Amino acid sequence: MKEKRLVTIMLMLITCIFLCSCDKKSQESTRELFAMDTFMVLKAHGEESDAALDEAVREIRRIDQMLSIGIKESEISTLNNNGEADFSEESMYLLDTSREVFNKTEGAFDITVYPLMVEWGFVDQKYRVPEKGTIKKLLENIGTDKIETQESNVKVPEGTKIDFGGIAKGYTSQKVIEILERHKVKGAIVSLGGNVQSCGVKADGKKYKVGIEDPKGSEDYIGVLEIKDKVVITSGSYERYFKKDGKVYHHIIDPKTGYPAKSDIASVTVVNEDGTTADAMATALFVMGREKALEYWKKYGEKDEFEMVIVENDGRITITEGLKETFDSKRHFKVVGK
């Protein structure tokens, strides 16, 4: 029995080596890593896929360090500790994009919620429900409009601190895809903790498929999207949370109340062509709730070329009409148009 299994494995290996060596160009390379507090998988095929992925991994590590709040010398730590810092072009780009989304979403996306994240224990993972008075006090320092910039110089008033956690992974997947494209890969797909971005097509010439997780945690995807040169980013209350006295407290904060956003949305998935804005928007749309999120899509969906999938707490699924041809699901879903 054992021998038979060994022969089978040998045969499989030989077939595999054969398949890999006969067509180097369509060989798919993979890298797996843990960064930004999450598990990441990168896949690419094309002549330079190995070199491309190695560079991509280095890039992820670099951005992770750059945005790290744990590193005292990082630009963000300097700003948070001293109230002032000189930002590189890159940090400034993240700040500008964050500010743009803050303005457009009427403050639903707000990078200054950081002190609240600390107070709720999401930063040191010592979860706790803060006193009402503490939250009220902290709210006085919240607001991206409190951040002042003059060329590369950034200033915040005392007590105001920032964190790019709601935008960092989208920005990173964007940079990774740009690297892979520079290496002329034929196709690639990267998943940074479930945030997915792709370029080109699979080795078999078909489009990449991305499953959207069931916020309730079942094994089945709630649906599958077929994508080309797109990013698919989900924000959900099921991703990071703690329970206290039977209540669930998740990690997306409503900047107006200081509490985890009371949203009828369990998860919202944004599909567009730019990772950075998709990530910020997913976080904001979650805070807004279904009705406001759909209003926002009606207003900006066409101009900003984005579509979305909303899963409500009761399991109902809504997709925007641009995804009609690309979304496949065994479940019932509603298609919303303009």
Does 80 engage in binding with ligand ADP (CB under 6 A)? no
Choose among 74, 69, 161, 181: nearest CA to 111: 161
307 interacts with, out of ligand ADP, Mg ion, none, CB within 5 to 8 A per kind:
none
DSSP-assigned letter for residue 26: G
With respect to Mg ion, which residue has the nearer C-beta, 156 or 280? 280
Pairing of strands 334-336, 84-86: unpaired
How many chain residues interact with Mg ion (CB under 5 A)? 4
Tell me how many degrees the CA angle 34-35-36 measures, rounded to the nearest 5: 140
From candidates 64, 239, 273, 305, binder to ligand ADP by CB under 6 A: 239
Token readout for 275 is: 């990772």
Site map 103..122 versus ligand ADP, x via CB under 6 A = ------xxx-x---x----x
3-state secondary structure of 79: helix
Binding test (CB under 6 A) with ligand ADP, winner from 87, 251, 269, 278? 251
When asked if residue 166 is in the footprint of Mg ion (CB under 5 A), the reply is yes
Question: CB under 5 to 8 A by kind: which of Mg ion, ligand ADP, none does 223 bind?
Answer: none
**Judged by CB, which is closer to ligand ADP: 177, or 282?**
282
Amino acid at 165: G
Of 298, 238, 190, residue with least CA distance to 308? 298
Number of residues that bind ligand ADP (CB under 6 A): 21
Q: Which is nearer to ligand ADP, 223 or 255 (CB)?
A: 255
- Which positions from 264 through 293 interact with Mg ion, judged by CB under 5 A? 279, 282-283
CA distances to 119, 124, 136 from 131, in Å: 10, 18, 9
Which pair of tokens denotes residue 323?
A: 């995804």
* Closer Cβ to Mg ion, 166 or 200, answer by number: 166
Q: Least distance in Å: CB of 279 to ligand ADP?
A: 5
Antiparallel, parallel or unpaired: β 334-336 and 317-320:
parallel
Residue recorded with tokens 């303005």 = 103
Q: Nearest Cα to 261, choosing from 143, 117, 94, 141?
A: 117
160 is a contact residue toward ligand ADP (CB under 6 A): no
- At position 4, the amino acid (one-letter code) is K
The residues, ordered by sequence, that sit 6+ positions from 242 with a Cβ below 8 Å of its Cβ are 121, 127, 248, 249
Of these partners, ligand ADP, Mg ion, none, which one is at the site of residue 255 (CB under 5 to 8 Å by kind)? ligand ADP
For ligand ADP, give the closer residue by CB, 165 or 187.
165
Neighbour order of strands in the sheet with 208-212? 208-212, 223-227, 327-328
108 vs 185, which CB is nearer to ligand ADP?
Answer: 108
Q: Where on the chain is the footprint of ligand ADP (CB under 6 A)?
A: 109-111, 113, 117, 122, 163, 165-166, 169, 235, 239-240, 251-253, 255, 279, 282-283, 287
Positions in the binding site for Mg ion (CB under 5 A): 166, 279, 282-283
